[in-house]
């Protein structure tokens, strides 16, 4: 285990411990246990089925994104994706996002950087739908503008949510601009020409020096640029991009439905579909921060904070946050383990930093 991984685990653990403390500090343990026993766990069945359906849709979306560079079968997209999401649940720093293209490279010979770029494209779609949902949902739910919830040295309130939404929009615009720029062939060729001309500057050191710079620096860098452009190639196909956008909407509607169905079995909530969707979105914002594997602590803190906006008692909020966390996470771990067995992947040997300048040109 390298130093960066250890530091990531330590930092994530500290954040998770602090988040758990603030999420549960006002909830007596006995009352929390009584609430968890009062949940109607039959509602878990349809909620889990919806979770599975959302990942089936995610695999279809990733397959379509990949088709801009390489054609692979549906299950060859599904299994690496589930292995990646499963690793996100058991490893720090979202290592599964790096492992997913590594598995794709091993099984389908898709260049690692190309696969990684398609994962980034997926995240842009998710971020776009999250922001649109965030804007739409919070226009249809009432939040007391004077409500303030202490969270350590911070005061979480309606202004906090608006600041988060504004920041996410800025991040999204930067990502979209970067993807469009690197995907335009003319821009890509200009960048490649600049790299080659910079290489020629070493000619005064002799032909050997120029060849070495080309082989060791310029050629790998050009390969990375071409693979990234191939991974982001979806932006050139408006039809496929539109299909991916529609699938993304369906994915997030299914996710919200899964939370809502689970909430039906939790006493003391009584929230509308819009309010539960708002809870889901706030949890997603919280777990974007670094934490221990499985997002423990941040998920619960996000759930308790979100539900408190709708005057749900701390005990009920903490119970729902824990139950929904388990329902959303454990099916992913199980499906990921099954995919790893089917693919014959030794999880301890998964290399998330393979040769970036690998074997096939796009």
Q: Is the pLDDT of residue 360 over 60?
A: no
Rounded to whole angstroms, how far apart are CA atoms 28 and 318?
10
User: Bridge-partner residues for 154, per DSSP?
Assistant: 151
The H or E element that residue 100 is part of is helix 96-108
Torsion of CA 21, 23, 28, 30, to 10 degrees: -100
pLDDT tens-digit profile of 293-309? 778 888 888 898 889 88
* pLDDT, average across residues 190-202: 81
Residue 245 has pLDDT above 50, yes or no: yes
Per-residue pLDDT band at 167 (split at 50, 70, 90): confident
Return the pLDDT at 355. Answer: 45
Q: String of b and e for 63-79 (b: at least 16 CB within 10 Å)?
A: bbbbbbbbebeeebbbb
- Interval 215-229: pLDDT, tens: 777 777 787 777 777
Helix axes 185-200, 158-183, angle to 10 degrees: 70
Q: Which of 274, 338, 291 is nearest to 88 (CA)?
A: 291
Q: Per-residue pLDDT for 354 more than 60?
A: no
Predicted model pTM: 0.80
Residue of higher predicted confidence among 152 and 116: 116
Q: Transcribe 124-191 into DSSP letters.
A: HHHHHHHHHHHHHHTTSS---TT-EEEETTEEEEHHHHHHHHHHHHHHHHHHHHHHHHHH-HHHHHHH
Going by C-alpha positions, the residue among 282, 342, 257 that lies closest to residue 49 is: 257
Q: What is the mean pLDDT of the chain?
A: 81
Measure the CA–CA gap between 356 and 114, rounded to whole angstroms: 9
């Amino acid at each position: 285990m390298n130093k960066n991984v250890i530091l990531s685990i330590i930092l994530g653990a500290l954040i998770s411990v602090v988040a758990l403390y603030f999420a549960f500090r006002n909830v007596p343990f006995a009352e929390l246990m009584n609430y968890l026993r009062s949940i109607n766990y039959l509602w878990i069945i349809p909620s889990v089925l919806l979770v599975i359906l959302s990942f089936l849709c995610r695999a279809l979306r990733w397959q379509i994104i990949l088709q801009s560079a390489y054609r692979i079968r549906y299950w060859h997209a599904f299994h690496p994706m589930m292995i990646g999401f499963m690793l996100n649940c058991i490893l720090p720093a979202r290592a599964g996002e790096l492992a997913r293209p590594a598995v794709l490279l091993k099984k389908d010979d898709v260049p690692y950087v190309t696969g990684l770029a398609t994962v980034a494209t997926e995240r842009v779609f998710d971020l776009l739908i999250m922001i649109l949902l965030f804007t739409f949902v919070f226009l249809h739910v009432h939040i007391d503008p004077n409500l303030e919830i202490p969270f350590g040295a911070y005061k979480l309130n309606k202004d906090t949510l608006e600041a988060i939404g504004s920041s996410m929009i800025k991040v999204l615009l930067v990502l979209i601009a970067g993807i469009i720029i690197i995907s335009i062939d003319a821009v890509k060729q200009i960048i490649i020409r600049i790299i080659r001309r910079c290489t020629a500057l070493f000619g005064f050191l002799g032909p050997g020096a120029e060849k070495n710079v080309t082989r060791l620096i310029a050629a790998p860098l050009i390969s990375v640029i071409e693979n990234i452009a191939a991974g982001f190639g979806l932006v050139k196909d408006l039809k496929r991009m539109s299909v991916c956008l529609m699938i993304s909407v369906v994915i997030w509607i299914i996710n919200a439905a899964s939370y809502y169905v689970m909430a039906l079995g939790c006493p003391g909530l009584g929230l509308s579909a819009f309010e539960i969707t708002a809870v889901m979105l706030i949890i997603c914002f919280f777990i974007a921060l670094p934490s221990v594997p499985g997002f423990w602590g941040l998920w619960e803190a996000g759930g308790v904070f979100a539900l408190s906006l709708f005057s749900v008692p701390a005990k009920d909020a903490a119970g729902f946050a824990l139950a929904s966390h388990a329902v959303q996470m454990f099916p992913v771990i199980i499906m990921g383990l099954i995919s790893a067995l089917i693919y014959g992947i030794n999880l301890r040997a998964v290399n998330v930093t393979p040769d970036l300048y690998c074997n096939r040109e796009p």
